[in-house]
Amino acid sequence: MPTQKMLKEKTKSAADVASWVQSGDTIDYGFGLTQPDIFDLELSKQKDRLRDVIVRGTLSVSARQVIECDPEQKHFQFQNWHFSGYDRKKSEQGLMSYVPFNFGEGPEIYRKYLDVDILVLKTTPMDKHGYFNFGVSNTFARACCDVAKKIVVETSTAIPTCCGSESSVHISEVEAVIEGDNAPLFELPSAPISDIDRQVADRIVPLIEDRSCLQIGIGGMPNAVCSALAHSDIKDLGIHTEMFVDGMIDLVEAGKVTGKYKQTYRGEITFTFALGTQKTYDFINGNEICVSLPVDETNLPSKIAENDNVVSINNCLQIDLSGQVASESSGHRHISGTGGQLQFVRGAVASKGGKSFMCLSSRFTDKAGNPVSRIVAGLAPGTVTTTPRSDVMYVVTEHGIVNLKGKSITERALALISIAHPDDRETLMKEGCERGIISRRYW
């Protein structure tokens, strides 16, 4: 059957598609910018006929109406793979539950362990060949399609078309097409760069060599690294990352990225999702240099390590004196998720010439206005260890940089104390000695 005829027959209203949902079903909303909006609203309007519907989503960029309409969770239960600011607030209200996982394992988890009754994804409109492109969020979308009993797309002309692998679904596979509202995509402005961010970046950049292959996370510190690299003498960088952000465009435009020394996808920028400003969405739209891949291709350590000189740069919330890194929770309060941090740390360290950097400010200010050290003797009860101490390489604050590889617990503690805020070092030394973290000769 010609694709245009199939499209006409399969185009449905969001209300009609929502009527397919039955009590006890599992509905998947996909990732970030590709979560549906019109369908979400229509499903919320039908709540009274439904009970115990599980809705899965990731990194919500706007309010989810199935949550807002159901404060008692009688109708919908929302499960989330990685929290945004909105998701965090809903979790604190008891309206969302986090699903722990390493990001790169997502496709395998779907294919082996999960059931999906209806998958609803926001995609590009159908192209002339009958394909709907996943655009900004490849991640585990194809795997979810493979296991879903019904696939529904909510189209949007705002979604960029991304070149890549496993980055689309064909009209023949789709049960229904909902014509979207084509609203502009949510934009995440680049975080402002503070003096502390610049100081951290200034310690990292001298250790990045020509021909390095970069993975850079999100936030002020990674932005500062991109800015410093753009103004450095470094050349022939490659990019193999999970998240494509605005700062990477600055590197490309500064002539720092050629990718010609990458071992995989030579000359190309590889990523699994994008989140930034319209600048990013315009840059990746139809750009053959930017290759969108499923997350097991970008994030599994074995895939990462196929490139030489991988440099992984990530933020964290806290680190204890033995080197345990907490990046996703503060006590029992869940903040974000494991994401790809651990896998990129391991992939970078396994890469020939690779380096992993864990960045943090030495202090933060609590709600009462008091300065609190991010380097602590021990993590608070409930705080999740995102990256085990055995995996951590470089740790960087505005006061210094240390490499924990090969160091004993005492040596690690002393090294970390040396890059803590000067006003916190005496207390950390005392606590380290009292807890037996630091050997007796230093008591």
- Residue 285: the pLDDT is 98
pLDDT in tens, 9-39: 999 999 999 999 999 999 999 999 999 999 9
- Residue 83: the pLDDT is 97
Alpha-carbon span 306 to 314, nearest angstrom:
20
The residue ranges of every structural domain in the chain are: 3-179, 195-442
Nearest one of 243, 387, 256 to 328, comparing CA atoms: 387
Token reading at 313: 């740069």
CA angle 135, 140, 144 (to 5 degrees): 105
- Residue 442: the pLDDT is 82
Alpha-carbon span 195 to 361, nearest angstrom:
10
> Which CATH number among 1.10.10.10, 3.30.1330.10, 1.10.1040.10, 3.40.1080.10 corresponds to the domain 3-179?
3.40.1080.10
Query: Which regions in the chain score pLDDT beneath 70?
Result: 1
- Residue 107: the pLDDT is 98
66: burial class by Cβ within 10 Å (0-12, 13-18, 19+)? buried
Q: Which residues, in sequence order, are bridge partners of residue 270?
A: 240, 291
Same fold, 3-179 and 195-442: yes
- Residue 146: the pLDDT is 97
pLDDT in tens, 126-177: 999 999 999 999 999 999 999 999 999 999 999 999 999 999 999 999 999 9
- Residue 190: the pLDDT is 81
- Residue 428: the pLDDT is 97
Task: Report the catalytic residues.
Answer: 242
- Residue 189: the pLDDT is 87
Alpha-carbon span 434 to 422, nearest angstrom:
20
- Residue 136: the pLDDT is 96
> Which CATH number among 3.40.630.10, 3.40.1080.20, 3.40.190.10, 3.30.160.340 corresponds to the domain 195-442?
3.40.1080.20
- Residue 184: the pLDDT is 96
